[in-house]
Amino acid sequence: MDWGDAAKTTDRGDMTPLDVAEAGRLEEALAAHAGRWVSFQPGGVETLGLDHDYSNEATPKAVYGFEVDLLLPMLRGIQERGRKKGFHYLVDGFGFVRREAAFTYAAEGPMVFSDSYTGVLGDLEALRDALEGRGSPGADVAQRWLRSASRRERGTGCRGDAWLLVNAMDKMIDAHLGLRGDDPFLCSPEKPGLWNEMFRELGYAAFVDRDAVLTGDLRWQTAVFDAGALRGVERMDNPAAISNAPPPGRRFG
């Protein structure tokens, strides 16, 4: 999804690309956490959860992170190839990895994996029924997307079932809130919470996005909707944050 600049109000931090040394320090710090996820947060955040401010008014309220197993080869690539324009935009294009704190963790519970999810018909039916029970106009939107999804050839990945689910939910929420406008994706302070509620209504604790379908920011990211699904959370200072960089070594002429 392309939500537009106006919808992207969450602070991303310093956007300076990682250099070789910074990539090496971050790789070393994350190597012991292979198989887990990592979330980069501002330095004042001491615990990982959903009780912190969330200023983005378009995307689901969640604990966002990355799969460490995907980050590690990208960080090694920066070290092996040096800086190249546009190289691994996930690592150096959005500033998340410049935040001062890094939390590593696992998540437990039912999840949507964008590259293998095929359950859109059943989930749209469940959302339609839930919205009908509330007398919400979002139920009619769910029914229209359900008819469309049942008629088209579907699959996984980009433009697959996960894409259909996310886009249908966006339009259901707009209808439920009475949002109208010319922008393709509309904003409201209530929208992130409703996104979260709908995913939990379907029984999902998390979304593993490998196809840029959830927020459109990044091809690979994870989102945990239920703080109770977090497991083994560990906090460390992020060695790739500008403020955490070691002082430059003394040079002798």
At residue 209, the pLDDT reads 92
Q: Does the pLDDT of residue 228 top 50, yes or no?
A: yes
Of 42-51, 161-170, 240-249, which has the strongest mean pLDDT?
161-170
Question: Do 102 and 126 share a structural domain?
Answer: no
Provide the pLDDT for residue 185: 80
Question: 108 with 220, same domain?
Answer: yes
pLDDT level of residue 47 (50, 70, 90 thresholds): very high
Together in a domain, 124 and 239: no
Asked if residue 250 is part of any domain, the answer here is no
Q: Are 181 and 137 found together in one domain?
A: yes
Q: Are residues 106 and 9 in the same domain?
A: yes
Decide if 249 is inside a domain.
no
Decide which of 228 and 247 is more confident: 228
Do 91 and 123 lie in one domain? The reply is no
Q: Locate the DSSP E strands across the chain.
A: 37-41, 63-67, 101-107, 111-113, 206-209, 221-224, 230-237
Instruction: Please check the confidence at residue 118 and state whether its pLDDT lies above 50.
Output: yes
Instruction: Count the domains in the chain.
Output: 2
Question: Highest mean pLDDT range out of 119-133, 140-154, 202-216?
Answer: 119-133
Decide if pLDDT at 98 tops 50. Answer: yes
The answer, yes or no, to whether residue 168 has pLDDT greater than 90, is yes
Q: What is the pLDDT of residue 97?
A: 84
Domain of 125 in residue numbering reads as: 118-206
- pLDDT of 4 above 60: no
pLDDT surpassing 50 at residue 57: yes
Q: Has residue 157 been placed in a domain?
A: yes
Q: In this predicted structure, which of 74-83, 89-98, 172-181, 226-235 has the lowest mean pLDDT?
A: 89-98
Banded model confidence at residue 7, pLDDT cuts 50, 70, 90: very low
Query: How far is Cα 42 from Cα 146, in angstroms, rounded to an integer?
Result: 40
> What mean pLDDT value characterizes the chain?
84
Asked if the structure places residue 252 within a domain, the reply is no
Confidence at residue 154, expressed as pLDDT on a 0 to 100 scale: 79
Q: Are residues 17 and 101 in the same domain?
A: yes
Dihedral angle sign, alpha carbons of residues 18, 56, 68, 29: positive
Query: Which DSSP letter does residue 202 get?
Result: T
Average of per-residue pLDDT across 120-142: 97
Instruction: Return contacts of 106-109, CB within 8 angstroms, 24+ apart.
Output: 106/35, 106/36, 106/37, 106/230, 106/231, 106/232, 107/37, 107/205, 107/206, 107/222, 107/224, 107/229, 107/230, 107/231, 108/205, 108/229, 108/231, 109/204, 109/205, 109/206, 109/226, 109/229
Q: Is residue 93 over pLDDT 60?
A: no
pLDDT for position 253: 24
Angle between helices 120-133 and 191-201 (to 10 degrees): 110
Q: What is the mean pLDDT of residues 215-236?
A: 90
Residue 253 domain-assigned (yes or no): no
Check whether residue 72 and residue 149 sit in a common domain: no
pLDDT value for 20: 86
pLDDT in tens, 16-44: 778 889 889 999 999 999 999 999 988 88
Whether 251 maps to a domain, the answer reads no
Do 128 and 107 lie in a common domain? no
Q: What is the pTM of this model?
A: 0.87
Same domain, 97 and 19: yes
Instruction: Determine, yes or no, domain membership for 75.
Output: yes
Q: Is the domain of 107 the same as that of 157?
A: no
